[in-house]
């Protein structure tokens, strides 16, 4: 059979990871760590560019592979970061790894990213829950580094309890900064907590926004989306301007294995970021 | 990384699962390279009470057995039940279908009181079992996979889908098509569809998947001419233990 | 396309030459029920008039049930090596709807990213198709897959005393010129072929009412009672997916040898009917019930790829109907959706 598909000359396949080294491990919460990663091949590191919202497939050799969104800024070309919750086989193994350990990386993947280009000269409202802050951190940093091209920037972030807040230093920094308004809440308090208590949806109504000039970004645990979307719709935001980063089982990352199906879409190639309009009629999406 | 110390213990059963480990042939050298076997009932005479992982074969059927398994439970950090008997009582549980006293009488006659036989229970009735290598006998490659997973530090992947999946991957003709019956649609895979590969129906030695469609299986077996009694027998062969599992669900 | 004629008296000689020259895969009787596509060494083993075949023939040759993708050595330096295997083979006696199934797989494995593990094998597969009588559960005609326009090198249609050959590639042309005594097709050959095709199409008795399903699916989507009834007997065993010539879902797994030095990344056929399919790390399952899963399967087969590929991801071969012990029948289910809508 003669096919137009050209023979692969690069001697690599879409399943072969590039070797990278963990340069730094920081503890963010009792169950989350931040890994700073650099490709062993300097050329690969140089070429590695991604958009906010994209993800990579990380291989722990001999153990398995799992998808992680990239929380670091796309402008940082020297390294990239992954925020990992100790929850499964691969993430558990990562948590046992120290700086210097070797891992495999494939990606970045996903055509669906946070549309930082369309968002220019618009207000931005970011709603994140728990570990959902990680994927949007990349967008926040991108905007902060190009701040003059964006209008109001609001971040609503909810965590389980004060201890579970990730990127605590960054959150403190945001609280001090004038160019980002952060609205923080926790579900369960402790004695030290002086801030808001309850779910993120409670904080959304108080945020003022001009519906036709506002983009919203949502990322959090599966249960969160439906409720947040309801609140955003109450503010008359256009469904085309509401972006959701959806988690599914992205195994191959390249649209082959089909595990990340959301109705007619694949989270790995069509997403993982979708506009609410795109998934409006996909009943199992949120 | 230091090699984990492993003890392999036998309780009531045929010893076949321990033999499966010895039958690993090409793997056995790598296996003893990767772990330190400090106790192996069927294979070595030395004995040590210093182990991290206990592989336990056989069901608990005697008072002495209860003492032994509780001691293992106190020492081992991880317990892996291997084989049907250890995982859910296996064939041994058929004894209890007669009632304990009646069974003792049938087997030992007037000497029945000499024997400390108790109601058959699987290992997890007495100690916490971390992982199950099911089957009669256990699949030796699955035992290796569990050990490997424990060494590299991941949760062993034990299938929670029916035997049909492996049967189809292996390109078998469905035994129902050949006019026989099979428990495969409700029984947990992981055996590489051992019985259907050789043209026999699955007897259910690995026990049911987490959410078996028992009603559909009963209808299917009835359609192939089995009576309610036949069906009960079919289900009971490896799954007669009343504490949990399929038997309970169909009664 | 070239159109040639192979006289029946020359057929045996042609096939025998192919068997001796190539690694030759063809249908062979497996047991009293099924045929399987296996290596053929002797013409007598070959039986192209099969009624039933459980195993998707093209799929397993190009996308084996388990396949190693990457091998690596772990040490101070990690060495990673892609594993891509391929060798020239002839696949003989595959029917039109299975060729269409393979065309779908070609699309899946080439769209967005090219899957070299699949295409290395596909490039070297010489496909010689042949018509066969549709089985009882085959509804390929309603799916528009009873005829293959491409995806093969040579396609044989058996007329009374001769074979009508459609030669789709230069490779197919080389092979026929080298190994077969052929002649050009004449007007009367075309006339007979045309008549044969009309007859052949009339043999597809099973019809699926698919025309409006794309929209009707949304109508039935939230009808819980319908899906509960349709999936009541489902074992979640995945047989329907695993025998399907267009199902392509797979798991990717990493494994390490006991020496802890050499490991690999491999894939194995998966099924969307298995509960674990929609499970993510952290324990959330996006499709926890068998109703969800059956719905997803029908959506994937009959809707998703109409948008993406322009065709259905179902060629109507009927294997899933044969394989399902719970008697879940895609034809009956789709036809009953139609009834629900018009009721």
Q: What pLDDT does residue C103 have?
A: 95
Shared domain check, B195 and B105 = no
- pLDDT score of B1 more than 60: no
- pLDDT score of A9 more than 60: no
* Mean model confidence pLDDT for chain A: 92
- Domain final position from C136, C171, C202: C202
- pLDDT score of B152 more than 70: yes
Domain assignment present for B108: yes
pLDDT tens for B46-89 read 788 889 999 999 999 999 999 999 999 999 999 999 999 999 99
Q: Using the beta-carbon criterion (under 8 Å), do B174 and C257 form an inter-chain contact?
A: no
Shared domain check, C160 and C24 = yes
Q: Using the beta-carbon criterion (under 8 Å), do C109 and A284 form an inter-chain contact?
A: no
How far is CA C193 from its chain centroid?
A: 25
Task: Give chain A as a DSSP string.
Answer: ---SS----SS--TTPPEEEEEEEEEE-SSSEEEEEEEESSHHHHHH----TT-EEEEEETTTEEEEEE--S-TT--S-EEEEEES-SHHHHHHHT--TT-EEEEEEEE-SB---TTTTTTSEEEEEEEGGGHHHHHHHHHHHHHTGGG---EEEEEEESSGGG-SSHHHHHHHHH-SS-EEEEEESS--TT--SEES-GGGTSTTS---GGGEEEEEES-TTHHHHHHHHHHHTT--GGGEEEE-----SSSSSSS-TTEETTEETTTT-BEEEHHHHTT-TT--
Contact B102, B249 (CB under 8 A): no
* Mean model confidence pLDDT for chain C: 93
For domain A123-279, say whether CATH 3.40.50.80 is its number. yes
Domain assignment present for C297: yes
Domain assignment present for B126: yes
C9 lies within 8 A of chain A by CB: no
Q: Using the beta-carbon criterion (under 8 Å), do B162 and C235 form an inter-chain contact?
A: yes
Q: Using the beta-carbon criterion (under 8 Å), do A15 and C82 form an inter-chain contact?
A: yes
* Number of domains chain B is built from: 2
Q: What pLDDT does residue B19 have?
A: 93
A96 lies within 8 A of chain B by CB: yes
Query: What are the φ and ψ backbone dihedral angles of B183, each rounded to 5 degrees?
Result: -90, -5
Shared domain check, C235 and C190 = no
Shared domain check, B127 and B54 = yes
Shared domain check, B138 and B65 = yes
Q: Which residue of B has its CA nearest to A93?
A: B153
Shared domain check, C275 and C313 = yes
- Domain final position from B127, B152, B177: B152
For domain A18-108, say whether CATH 2.40.30.10 is its number. yes
Shared domain check, B224 and B193 = yes
In the stretch 36-95 of chain A, residues with CB closer than 8 A to chain B read 62-64, 89, 92-93
Residue B115 binned pLDDT confidence (cut-offs 50, 70, 90) = confident
- pLDDT score of B248 more than 50: no
Q: Which residue of A has its CA nearest to B154?
A: A89
Sign of the Cα torsion A133, A137, A138, A139 reads: positive
Shared domain check, C162 and C18 = yes
Residue C302 is classified by DSSP as I
Q: Using the beta-carbon criterion (under 8 Å), do A222 and C284 form an inter-chain contact?
A: yes
A/C interface, count of CB pairs below 8 Å: 154
The range of the structural domain enclosing residue C317 comes to: 213-342
* Number of domains chain C is built from: 2
- Domain final position from B111, B132, B152: B152
- Domain final position from B118, B152, B186: B152
Domain assignment present for B157: no
Domain assignment present for B237: yes
Shared domain check, C147 and C9 = yes
Shared domain check, B35 and B111 = yes
Residue ranges covered by each domain of chain A: 18-108, 123-279
B164 lies within 8 A of chain C by CB: yes
- pLDDT score of A191 more than 70: yes
- pLDDT score of C97 more than 60: yes
Q: What pLDDT does residue A225 have?
A: 94
- pLDDT score of B136 more than 80: yes
- pLDDT score of C261 more than 60: yes
What is the percentage of chain C residues whose pLDDT exceeds 70?
A: 100
Contact B116, B108 (CB under 8 A): no
Shared domain check, B140 and B43 = yes
Please give the span between the terminal C-alpha atoms of chain A, in angstroms, as a whole number: 43
Shared domain check, C288 and C174 = no
Shared domain check, C238 and C153 = no
**What are the structure tokens assigned to A36, written together?**
């700073």
pLDDT tens for C191-226 read 999 999 999 999 999 999 999 999 999 999 999 999
Residue A10 binned pLDDT confidence (cut-offs 50, 70, 90) = low
- pLDDT score of A277 more than 50: yes
Tell me, what's the ipTM? 0.92
Q: What pLDDT does residue B251 have?
A: 33
Cα distances (Å, whole numbers) of residue B150 to A87, A199, B34, B78, B80? 17, 39, 11, 9, 10
The range of the structural domain enclosing residue B171 comes to: 163-250
Shared domain check, C225 and C137 = no
A-chain CB neighbours of B155 within 8 Å are: 89
Domain assignment present for B158: no
**What are the structure tokens assigned to A270, written together?**
């069509």
Shared domain check, C56 and C33 = yes
Average pLDDT on C7-12 reads: 96
Q: Using the beta-carbon criterion (under 8 Å), do B169 and C268 form an inter-chain contact?
A: yes
What is the percentage of chain B residues whose pLDDT exceeds 70?
A: 96
CA distance C24 to C36: 13
Q: What pLDDT does residue B250 have?
A: 42
In terms of Cα–Cα distance, which of A276, A184, A165 is closest to A225? A276
Shared domain check, C241 and C179 = no
- pLDDT score of B247 more than 50: no
B176 lies within 8 A of chain C by CB: yes
CA distance C108 to C119: 11
Domain assignment present for C207: no
Q: How many helices (H) and strands (E) does chain C have?
A: 13, 12
- Whole-model pTM: value is 0.91
Shared domain check, B144 and B169 = no
C170–chain A nearest CA distance, Å = 8
What is the percentage of chain C residues whose pLDDT exceeds 90?
A: 82
Shared domain check, B86 and B176 = no
Shared domain check, B145 and B33 = yes
Shared domain check, C251 and C129 = no
- pLDDT score of A6 more than 70: no
The CATH number that applies at residue B148 is 3.40.50.700
Q: What pLDDT does residue B245 have?
A: 46
pLDDT tens for B161-214 read 999 999 999 999 999 999 899 999 999 999 999 999 999 999 999 999 998 998
pLDDT tens for B5-52 read 999 999 999 999 999 999 988 888 888 888 999 989 888 887 888 899
Average pLDDT on B220-243 reads: 84
What is the percentage of chain B residues whose pLDDT exceeds 90?
A: 56
Domain assignment present for C248: yes
Q: What pLDDT does residue B249 have?
A: 47
pLDDT tens for A236-260 read 999 999 999 998 888 999 999 999 9
Shared domain check, C231 and C333 = yes
pLDDT tens for C223-239 read 999 999 999 999 999 99
Domain assignment present for C323: yes
B151–chain A nearest CA distance, Å = 10
Shared domain check, B176 and B144 = no
Q: What pLDDT does residue A1 have?
A: 53
- Domain final position from C176, C202, C228: C202
pLDDT tens for A179-190 read 999 999 999 988
């Amino acid at each position: 059979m003669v096919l137009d598909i050209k023979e692969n000359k690069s001697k690599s396949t879409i399943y072969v990871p590039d070797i990278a080294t963990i340069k730094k491990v920081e503890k963010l919460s009792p169950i989350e760590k931040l890994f700073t990663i650099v490709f062993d091949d300097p050329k690969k590191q140089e070429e590695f560019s991604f958009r906010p919202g994209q993800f990579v497939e990380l291989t722990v050799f001999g153990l398995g592979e799992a998808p992680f969104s990239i929380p670091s800024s796309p402008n940082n070309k020297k390294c990239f970061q992954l925020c990992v919750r100790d929850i499964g086989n691969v993430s558990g193994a990562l948590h046992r790894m120290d700086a210097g350990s070797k891992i495999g990386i494939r990606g970045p993947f996903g055509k669906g990213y946070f549309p930082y280009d369309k968002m220019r000269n618009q207000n931005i409202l970011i709603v994140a829950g728990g570990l959902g802050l990680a994927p949007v951190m990349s967008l926040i940093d991108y905007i902060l580094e190009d701040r003059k091209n964006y209008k109001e920037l609001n971040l609503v972030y909810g965590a389980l309890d004060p201890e579970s807040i990730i990127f605590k230093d960054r959150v403190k920094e945001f609280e001090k900064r004038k160019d980002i308004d952060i609205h923080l809440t926790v579900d369960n308090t402790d004695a030290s907590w002086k801030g808001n208590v309850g779910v993120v949806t409670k904080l959304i109504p108080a945020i003022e926004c001009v519906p036709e000039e506002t983009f919203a970004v949502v990322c959090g645990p599966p249960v969160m989306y439906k409720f947040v979307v309801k609140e955003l719709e109450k503010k008359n935001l256009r469904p085309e301007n509401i972006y959701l980063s959806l988690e599914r089982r992205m195994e191959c990352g390249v649209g082959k294995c089909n595990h990340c199906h959301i109705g007619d879409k694949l989270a790995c190639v069509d997403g993982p970021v979708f506009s609410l309009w795109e998934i409006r009629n996909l009943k199992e999406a949120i | 990384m230091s090699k984990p110390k492993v003890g392999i213990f036998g309780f009531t059963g045929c010893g076949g699962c321990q033999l499966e480990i010895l039958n690993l042939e090409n793997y056995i050298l790598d296996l003893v390279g990767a772990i330190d076997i400090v106790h192996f009932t069927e294979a070595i005479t030395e004995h040590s009470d210093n182990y991290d992982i206990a592989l336990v074969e056989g069901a608990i059927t005697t008072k002495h057995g209860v003492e032994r398994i509780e001691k293992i439970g106190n020492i081992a950090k991880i317990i892996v039940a291997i084989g049907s008997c250890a995982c859910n009582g296996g064939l041994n549980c058929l004894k209890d279908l007669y009632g304990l006293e009646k069974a003792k009488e049938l087997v030992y006659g007037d000497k029945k009181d000499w024997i400390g036989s108790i109601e058959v229970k699987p290992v997890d009735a007495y100690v916490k079992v971390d992982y199950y290598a099911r089957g009669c006998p256990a699949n030796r490659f699955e035992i290796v996979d569990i050990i490997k997973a424990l060494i590299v530090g991941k949760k062993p992947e034990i299938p929670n889908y029916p035997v049909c999946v492996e049967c189809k991957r292996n390109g078998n003709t469905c035994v129902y098509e050949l006019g026989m019956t099979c428990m495969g649609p409700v029984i947990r895979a992981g055996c590489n569809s051992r019985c259907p590969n050789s043209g026999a129906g699955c007897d259910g030695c690995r026990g049911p998947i987490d959410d078996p469609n028992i009603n559909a299986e009963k209808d299917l077996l009835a359609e192939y001419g089995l009576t309610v009694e036949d069906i009960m027998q079919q289900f009971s062969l490896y799954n007669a233990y009343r504490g949990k599992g399929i038997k309970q669900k169909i009664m | 396309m070239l159109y040639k004629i192979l006289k029946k008296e020359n057929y045996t000689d042609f096939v025998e030459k192919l068997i001796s020259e190539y690694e030759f895969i063809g249908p062979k009787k497996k047991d009293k029920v099924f045929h399987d596509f296996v290596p053929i060494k002797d013409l007598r083993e070959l039986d192209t008039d099969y009624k039933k075949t459980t195993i998707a023939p093209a799929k397993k040759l190009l996308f084996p049930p388990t396949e190693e993708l990457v091998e690596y050595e772990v040490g101070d330096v990690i060495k990673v090596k892609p594993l891509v295997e391929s060798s020239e083979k002839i696949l003989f006696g595959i029917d039109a709807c299975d060729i269409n199934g393979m065309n779908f797989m070609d699309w899946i494995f080439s769209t967005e990213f090219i899957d070299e593990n699949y295409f290395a094998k596909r490039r070297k597969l010489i496909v010689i198709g042949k018509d066969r009588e549709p089985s009882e559960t085959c509804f390929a005609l309603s799916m528009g897959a009873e005829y293959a326009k491409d995806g093969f090198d040579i396609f044989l249609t058996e007329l009374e005393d001769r074979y009508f050959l459609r030669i789709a590639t230069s490779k197919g042309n080389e092979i026929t010129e080298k190994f077969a005594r052929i002649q050009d097709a004449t007007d009367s050959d075309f006339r007979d072929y045309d008549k044969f095709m009309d007859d052949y199409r009339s043999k597809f008795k099973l019809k699926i009412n698919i025309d409006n399903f794309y929209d009707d699916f949304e109508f039935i989507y939230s009808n819980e009672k319908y899906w509960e009834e349709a999936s009541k007997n489902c074992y979640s065993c995945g047989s329907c997916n695993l025998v399907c010539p267009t199902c392509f879902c797979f798991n990717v797994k990493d494994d390490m040898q006991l020496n802890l030095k050499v490991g690999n990344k491999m894939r194995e056929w998966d099924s969307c009917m298995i509960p674990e399919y929609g499970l993510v790390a952290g324990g959330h399952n996006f499709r926890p019930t068998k109703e969800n899963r059956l719905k997803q399967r029908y959506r994937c087969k009959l809707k998703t790829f109409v948008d993406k590929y322009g065709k259905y991801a179902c060629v109507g071969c009927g294997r899933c109907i044969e394989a399902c012990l719970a008697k879940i029948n895609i034809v009956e289910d789709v036809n009953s959706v139609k009834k629900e809508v018009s009721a």
